[in-house]
Amino acid sequence: MHKYLLIICLLTSNVVFAQIPEDAKRYSFYPQGGTARNIAIGGAMGSLGGDINATFVNPAGLGLFKTKEVVLTPAFAFNNNKSTYRTTLEKNKLNNFNLGTTGFVWAYNNRYKKSSSAFSLALTQTADFNNTVKYNGLNNFSSMAEQFAEEMVTVNINDVLSTNSPVAYGAAPAFYTFLIDTVSSGGNLTVKPATGFILDANEALKQEYTKTTKGGIYELALGFAYNTNDKWLFGGTIAMPIVNYKSTTTFKESDTSLKTSNFFNNFVYTDDFTTKGIGLNGKFGVIYRPKEYVRIGLAVHTPMFLFLKDTRETNLSTALENPVNTYTTSSKTFTNNVKGESKYIQSTPFKAMLSGSYVFREVENVKRQKAFITADVEYVHHKGSRFGSDNEEPTEDEKAYFKDLNNVVKGYYKGNFNFRVGGELKFNILMARLGFAYYGNPYKEAELKANRMILSGGLGYRHKGIFVDLTYAHSFNKDVDFAYRLADKANTYATVKNQRGNVVATLGFKF
Amino acid sequence: MNTKLLLLAFSVAAISSCSTAYKSGQTPDDVYYSPAKFEENKDKDDKEEERNDQAQQTTEDRRIRQTVRDRRWRVFDNDDYTFNNSPYNHWNCNQNNYGYYYNPKYYPTPIFTTTPVVNTVPRKINLNAYQGYNTATAKTVTTKNNTVVTTSPKYNNNNNNSNASTPKKQTFVGKIFRAITSKEGIPPNTSESNSGNSNTRSFPSSNTKSSSSSNGSSGGSSSGSSVTRPTRGGQ
């Protein structure tokens, strides 16, 4: 019952809820997927309609359907990453299958009222997390072990090494393996990382980072649209997002000096993390046709209200010098020998879009249908992500953490505009398409640069009740990645440039 | 990957097996315009539906009549007749699972089952690390115009000037001066924060109820039991 109350609170008030700020961006900063035809025209579907992908963009577009169809959209992606970390460049690749919009549309025409209606049942992959990011570099300024030291001093020292530790994933393994240790200094008890001996000597650490992510957000949706005399079209979609995210992060720091008595040799930290859950969201829209060949669309997407569960396990191996020894442990030592779990509720930002299309020759005779151009402007309120505990009885610490985290999300991100534009030329049964999309920077800080730019093109064939569309979309993605964060020092980050090729095919059937 | 391929092959096969009404003539394109298709045989369809309903009713009536005549046709399909209390299944005796079970044959007392306590601490990060965003921790000064500015650099992405947010452009004279004064390789770190024994973090007094030496192990006072560190020593 309390889940329903929480949804009502989220809908009606400005209740703030989080895990870490980066989780917010994962569920809002991704390009629009869809059918091959839709991706080929840059994903612009806010006012065009007549494609099953309207279910996920502006459901009013389903109102243009007067027929029935079933579609299937498999896709294959090629990832190429170039990462720069402290002036060192590294490249890597990863390929994977994904799923575009798949489902069916059913239209019903009323000859007496000059109206029609349509509904759709569709499944799509709205976000694809499959990727591997790698970078490495020399660092004489900071160390990840300092993050563990910072974490350790936030809790009572007697609670650190416990089978139910409040710092089970970082500080506890680090303290257990002597990567960080307590030191008395001027009568105060302090925590010092072993890597601090290297930095104190003005020498550099070699840092190597690999993060492999898998999964995606899948959305199962039921859409409905009503068309009044081909003038006004109204539509709504109820969607169930399904989140499946898995990441494995490996971070290694090594002593680059040839000294064998400076207390530190290397450490390897591995973080296995999964997030799974389901949620609910709605999409509502309207399309107005002032003239036969003009379409103006307006759509709003409510936030996704996600009920998520994280499971996490970390492993740490620390090799020390003077005396030489290697210590290894798992976070499970500090979480009752089972993986840690955290249940929480996340609401993603709302979206709104304004669109326009110009269709040349909206006539029944397919041979006289010539072309269309279409464009969307979309606003995404990235700083609007909120998180809250889903535990039965959240502690005061938990509540305070979520409140602070939501404040950080509000300050760290901003709302931004995305642009999509595309067009098609039609030659009887063959079609050629081009598209472009730009997704703006979600970070408020100007120094942190992130954006996505997608160029796409495709061909289509439509004959004898069957249609086949083939698209290639190439994305140029830019983002930043922080391996660790420190509160009392300037932070260091990698600039990640990703190029992603996506081959999408749609097979459809009219009946 | 194989599962995805199998699913894809199955879906393609399923779609290919559909029959279309547009094998001859033009295939409509709803993106542009498609003609409304009306059901011409509605009356005929309605009659067929009615006939099916009647047939279904007849089947149901026949079943009821047979049930009255012969008790073997009486199928217990009502929840009221279900009986789950099996002597061999102590878990499903129409009761909730309270974390114990009771076997009257062999044990005079309930047998308690325990599940390990799951650590439910959220994935946390030190939010003060998002410097400049958390106004409570940003290092700020007030200028003459009473405007608050952040003084500490937020980012350091190079080993040349560890305390700079972005690399500064160097003049020609500066480059020559730097070439004379700097050493080869990774230049020395000039940040104050790295000099001496500065990479330590202090415990607030409230978090140090008992002292701990570098070789000692900590006891645990949280809900779990304590974990002992290995002894530090050489191999």
Nearest to A157 among B135, B198, B212 (CB): B212
**CA-closest candidate to residue A225, choices A66, A39, A32:** A66
Q: Which pLDDT tens digit goes with each residue over A238-280?
A: 999 999 999 999 999 999 988 888 899 999 999 999 999 999 9
What pLDDT sits at residue B187? 39
CA distances from A391 to A4, A42, A162, A395 (A): 14, 41, 21, 9
For the ranges A248-252, B76-80, B165-169, B208-212, the one whose mean pLDDT is highest:
A248-252
What pLDDT sits at residue B80? 46
What pLDDT sits at residue A316? 97
B13 touches chain A (CB under 8 A): no
CB–CB contact B207 A154 (8 Å): yes
Q: A509 contacts in B (CB within 8 Å)? A: 15, 18, 20
d(CA A181, CA A194): 8
What pLDDT sits at residue A430? 95
pLDDT band at B220 (very low <50, low <70, confident <90, very high): very low
pTM of the model: 0.78
Average pLDDT of B87-109? 55
Report B:100-159 residues touching A (Cβ under 8 A): 116-135, 137, 152-159
What pLDDT sits at residue B98? 57
Q: What is the DSSP letter of A8?
A: H
What pLDDT sits at residue B170? 47
Q: Which pLDDT tens digit goes with each residue over A66-98?
A: 999 999 999 998 888 888 887 788 887 878 888
- Please check the confidence at residue B159 and state whether its pLDDT lies above 80: no
What pLDDT sits at residue B73? 64
Number of A/B CB contacts below 8 angstroms equals 383
Q: What ipTM score was computed for the predicted complex, to two decimals?
A: 0.80
Neighbours of B195 (CB within 10 A): 13
**CA terminus-to-terminus distance, chain B:** 45
Q: Cα angle vertex A364, ends A360, A366, to 5°?
A: 70
- Please check the confidence at residue B150 and state whether its pLDDT lies above 60: no
Q: How far is A88 from chain B (nearest CA, A)?
A: 10
What pLDDT sits at residue B52? 57
- A222 versus B25: the higher-pLDDT residue is A222
Nearest to A66 among B37, B154, B189 (CB): B37
3-state helix/strand/coil string of A9-61: HHHHCCCCCCCCHHHHHHCCCCCCCCCHHHHHCCCCCCCCCCCHHHHHCCHHH
Say if CB A340 and CB B118 are below 8 A apart: yes
State which residues of chain A have pLDDT below 50: 1, 5-18
What pLDDT sits at residue A280? 97
Average pLDDT of B20-30? 79
d(CA A408, CA B132): 10
Q: Which two tokens stand for residue A319?
A: 């090799």
What pLDDT sits at residue B121? 75
Buried b / exposed e across A119-143, counting CB within 10 Å, b at 16+?
bbbbbbbbbbbbbebbbbbbbbbbb
